[in-house]
Amino acid sequence: MTHAHQDDVRHFAGGFVSPSQEDLAGDDPVIHHLSVFKTRARMLDGSRVERKAQELQAASSYDDWDGLTDADKELWRHMARLDLC
């Protein structure tokens, strides 16, 4: 995977991130970390997130994935993104 070179692009363990001007203006490390996470989470492949969500749900619940509500599935996807980032 190649990325165009930009002066503001930073390499992190999970990939490349280009912080917004808003993020660069502040010195708050929590805001910076959340910004990096948000960007990295958006870069994840949807099928990878879905597969990880199903794995996490299967390991933690007896319910069938297809029987979950859309809200429950989205919660598992969110937890998968946290785990993958």
| Stretch among 35-39, 43-47, 79-83 having the lowest mean pLDDT | 35-39
Asked whether 36 and 16 are in contact (CB, 8 A), the reply is no
* Higher-confidence position of 79 and 29: 79
Q: Residue type at 34?
A: L
**Tokens standing for 33?**
């970390």
Bridge partners, 11 (sequence order): 16
pTM of the predicted protein model: 0.58
* Higher-confidence position of 17 and 40: 40
What confidence category does residue 16 fall into, taking pLDDT thresholds of 50, 70 and 90? Answer: low
| Stretch among 39-43, 46-50, 52-56, 71-75 having the lowest mean pLDDT | 39-43
Taking the alpha carbons at both ends of the chain, their separation in whole angstroms is: 18
Q: For tokens 């948000």, what's the residue? A: 38
